[in-house]
Amino acid sequence: MSEFDDMNARVIAEFRANAGKVGGNFEGAPMVLLHTIGARTGAERVNPLMYLPDGDRYLIFASKGGADEHPAWYRNIVAHPDIEVEIGDERFAVHAEELKGAERDEKYAKQATLYPGFAEYEKKTSRVIPVIALTRR
């Protein structure tokens, strides 16, 4: 298991033990556990992510810390957009849809204002960081 996988496993365990609350770098941030299906493998994957509430949607950001490639979970969502999430102590089905254009830009700017690390991620990469809306199904 890589150091990154080990960190994710600790965050997931803490999330589940505390009804969606975690400490450390994510203390106080709204967190979701994203359950995706591997685009190539078909295996279930779980990733802890920050989200931005947006009416009846949850917005997630494929920042990968400002890396120049998309995170694996993004490719999984593109291949299989009907997934499940855990928020708090509830698990439910959602449909994932990528936001485009002005709506994407507005929502990313809001997240970057609330959490300045997202502004830094955008500066570090030449790619447009995808914003994904998750809607309960």
Range of the domain at 93: 3-136
Residue with tokens 């204002």: 113
Instruction: Quote the pLDDT of residue 6.
Output: 87
Instruction: Quote the pLDDT of residue 1.
Output: 66
Instruction: Quote the pLDDT of residue 26.
Output: 87
Instruction: Quote the pLDDT of residue 67.
Output: 96
Domain total for the chain?
1
Alpha-carbon distance values, 73 to 20, 23, 31, 95, 115 (Å): 20, 23, 15, 14, 21
Q: Would you tell me how many other CB atoms lie within 10 Å of the CB of residue 83? A: 20
Alpha-carbon distance values, 116 to 21, 23, 119, 121 (Å): 20, 18, 5, 9
The upper half-sphere exposure of residue 15, i.e. CA atoms within 13 Å in the direction of its Cβ, equals 26
Instruction: Quote the pLDDT of residue 25.
Output: 84
List the pLDDT tens digit at each of the 137 positions of the chain. Answer: 688 788 889 999 999 999 999 998 889 999 999 999 999 999 999 999 999 999 999 999 999 999 999 999 999 999 999 999 999 999 999 999 999 999 999 999 999 999 999 999 999 999 999 999 999 99
Instruction: Quote the pLDDT of residue 108.
Output: 98
Report the predicted TM-score, pTM, of the whole model to 2 decimal places. Answer: 0.94
For residues 70 and 111, is the Cβ–Cβ distance under 8 A?
A: no
CATH code, domain carrying 96:
2.30.110.10
